[in-house]
Structure 1
């Protein structure tokens, strides 16, 4: 689909990813061919600097050089670098682990007015045997413009990638720019140190969101609404820059669900708690999944503190974790997630005891693990349904893993889709909102086909792994 989108591009291609895999030669050649066919076409890439410049003969920076050399005025490559890694640590942390201090994590693949929002990177395994989510939007000019403008805003505090042999303008070079082999990494703002962009980024992102909200309010029709009045709105989570829209969304959502449920089942004055209430019989159903399940602690508290909402969680089994079988310390990562799951399920059990005493029925949380032979798991997001037997009315999708890394360290872009109550089309035909809700329900069902009973409590976690988990903290 991405290749077909590129082949149809007329004005702009804008991709955002953590990195581009060294084996994606067809992607590069397709971009090259389309740029040659369309002299007015521009390509914009927003990637992570540390991941894209890992040592090697075919890292992302190197495989992009033919594009940069062939179309120097129409190919724009921006490389974000987290300012958290600085000083002595920046010099001694090995390249494989420097992502632990923050990455550019948003996954957006746009061509003209068509956009795919995903959690997947541009690498072979994502296109073959790694389960992930992709939501495609066509003919949505405002959504496409928002995503494009967002990436261009990020580029104002990102490095620029250029061929070293084409970098003749020495005035662009400054103490923060450097040449490495065939490519140059250029810092565009000599007045700001790359480690000192926190305030600049905070201001840029907050003003960006506010300007888009204001412009949308001024329009008669909201830019992210389709003809069925399905609402789609973006959420930026960049904890290192004090932008925490995802957290605010979770707080608002659970607060709303709790208030709605309490109004629906408020007991008579003087009644004594006991038995199974209607809360446990017909609770809203939230499906939540993450390939790296270390659920952010405030989100855990919201889930465990809201028994009015049933929550089904799917996490990757150790074998479905992308680090399973890795050499060295990274090979312990799946075991580390098992340890975090064990801690979470102990908290679930403690909360269940409280629920039982209050007469709220059994635990509101169910944890399953996804496993499929020779596959890995990377899907993330949530779906909310009014009940277990109804179709979803809300979904969160995008790059966030819903963990501490996503909340505090990485820079994420996700979207919330809210679907209105369905009354049926006026002409008696098919209701597009019902169709969309059905598609979201099939997403859940497709994931749960390979979701099995969680067996983490049976797995042994070595003491050194526990020490490592405590040591790395929210970097896992």
Structure 2
């Protein structure tokens, strides 16, 4: 390590070149006399990250940094939880019953974010469970709902009409917020002439997040009958994880800020209170405002993580490598307020975060406790050894937010040789980047996708009935690429085929070399396709665990999904059900970005 110092009255600039943990990286720190600006801990952290954004090497993934995927904290907020608090559901019925029971017993908050709410009896009962919670608490339970504007408005009997009893229950109270996101790309002639269903291909809110007090559920499932009965998806429940629930609640509320609001009148009137209307105002201004709002949330939590890590480093719970510094120092008792706007802008750092943290003569202990205290319900105490780490990732390519895409691509790049990865998607339209990483990485892959019969569009009328053929064509192209790269022995394709069922599951399981149980899983809303990375609003989590029982539960889930599968071979592609009309193969090139 080499260090260079520049000093002016009361201010010292330290530039440190690391040669140990992060070779060649430069760390910059501001000192005020013998004090350090605590916010600069975050700025320093960002400097380290900026210098280390190159592909992480497997040699960095040792136990000295907590777990094999610790590099994820460079890209996403990190939440430490106990594996025993994570429940994995298997069936759509389990999912539905969990939603109802959690909703009925909620005391503080209920958050439902999905593409849409269906209009059948099961959905009506689910809304009834939310109403029951409202009645039990005299309408004091806070209810926030986020749906897609276009999908939620399809038909006369739609998501909006299904929510009218809930609106009536709250009778104008600010304890109920129903937001409907409208993509800024659907405007002008497209909005005027694209018919229902087809207008949804332009872009939707695709988040699948459900919160009940401090219980957080993430899935790829929507809130409608098929997803409660016979459409297989994945479902993960985090109990007593208040901070993680808070993060996703804030995400839902942030998206709600630039969405329409459903107000309590008989005409189901929608109002928009944002600065820039999504389809009547300036499109670029809308996207810029949305980007700033979501990025402020991400940065705020990255800052909290950095200060939490400082505290944990002080107590010897995490290493200096995990903290991102190779030499550390004593912390300050006050904030440096003279950081220039230019420096903050250069780092992409929101100055309001610094301003919000300012306080006079706050002690080191008090400063870190402000952030640590939010996690004590999850961690019990800071001396506890945690066995599971959760990293939320957000994808809103339309707004220039590609956090999930970067994390997913980096995971694919860095799976160690000899790993086995189960990769799952209901709609096989994987981006070129992801395909490239799969065939070029040394890991073995089992890729699970829908059979033509298990595709949600199978048997649809009109052009929609040919959408399964689009995915078949893309699957065949990928299979040829696997053969071209001589990877047929270690990349296998499997089709989910189950009479009367469709398949909608998505995510990953990673078995590290020599391990019989997975230690990492991705779960959430993205389908890993072109529209997921560029058109829709998506969110998922990366779950990394050393908890043997949770690892076994993940393994059991993976086996359950594979229970109704058959391996896809060259003979499979010769079967009549895998035939692709020539015109479908031709148009796929032009339309694949919309599916």
| TM band (smaller chain) | 0.7 to 0.9
Shift of 1:332: 0.6
1:231 aligns with 2:389: yes
| Preserved CA contact (<8 Å) 2:394 2:538 | yes
Aligned pair partner of 1:12 in 109, 114, 118: 109
Q: Which residue of 2 aligns with 1:385?
A: 511
Count of residue correspondences: 414
Q: Which residue of 1 aligns with 2:118?
A: 21
Shift of 1:467: 3.3
Superposed, which structure 2 residues align to 1:60-75 within 5 Å? 60-71=159-170, 72-73=172-173, 74-75=175-176
| Preserved CA contact (<8 Å) 1:342 1:457 | no
Q: Which residue of 2 aligns with 1:398?
A: 524
Superposition TM-score, scaled by structure 2 size: 0.67
| Preserved CA contact (<8 Å) 2:412 2:434 | no
Aligned pair partner of 2:456 in 322, 325, 337: 322
1:240 aligns with 2:398: yes
Q: Which residue of 2 aligns with 1:170?
A: none
| Preserved CA contact (<8 Å) 1:341 1:456 | no
What is the alpha-carbon distance in structure 2 between the residues aligned to residue 286 and residue 140 of structure 1?
A: 27
What is the alpha-carbon distance in structure 2 between the residues aligned to residue 388 and residue 398 of structure 1?
A: 27
Shift of 1:472: 1.5
Q: Which residue of 1 aligns with 2:294?
A: 205
Aligned pair partner of 1:465 in 567, 572, 584: 584
Aligned pair partner of 2:244 in 143, 149, 156: 143
Q: Which residue of 2 aligns with 1:187?
A: 272
Q: Which residue of 2 aligns with 1:43?
A: 143
SS at match of 1:127: helix
Shift of 1:457: 4.8
What is the alpha-carbon distance in structure 1 between the residues aligned to residue 277 and residue 104 of structure 2?
A: 39
SS at match of 2:505: coil
What is the alpha-carbon distance in structure 1 between the residues aligned to residue 106 and residue 585 of structure 2?
A: 49
1:33 aligns with 2:159: no
1:442 aligns with 2:556: yes
1:235-257 Cα offsets, whole Å, 9 max, x none, are 00111111111221133223333
Q: Which residue of 1 aligns with 2:440?
A: 305
| Preserved CA contact (<8 Å) 1:107 1:118 | yes
What is the alpha-carbon distance in structure 1 between the residues aligned to residue 410 and residue 113 of structure 2?
A: 28
| Preserved CA contact (<8 Å) 1:285 1:309 | yes
Unaligned runs of 5+ residues in structure 1 are: 166-181, 262-282, 356-361, 421-432
What is the alpha-carbon distance in structure 1 between the residues aligned to residue 414 and residue 447 of structure 2?
A: 21
Aligned pair partner of 2:214 in 113, 121, 125: 113
1:118-159 Cα offsets, whole Å, 9 max, x none, are 110111111111111110011111011111111111111001
1:307-365 Cα offsets, whole Å, 9 max, x none, are x110110100010011110111111111111011011111111111xx6xxxxxx5431
SS at match of 2:221: coil
Q: Which residue of 1 aligns with 2:427?
A: 292
Moved over 3 A (4+): 220-227
Unaligned runs of 5+ residues in structure 2 are: 1-97, 313-371, 380-384
| Preserved CA contact (<8 Å) 2:492 2:567 | no
SS at match of 2:250: helix
Aligned pair partner of 1:94 in 183, 191, 195: 195
What is the alpha-carbon distance in structure 2 between the residues aligned to residue 107 and residue 251 of structure 1?
A: 21
1:3 aligns with 2:100: yes
What's the C-alpha RMSD, in Å, of the aligned pairs? 1.7
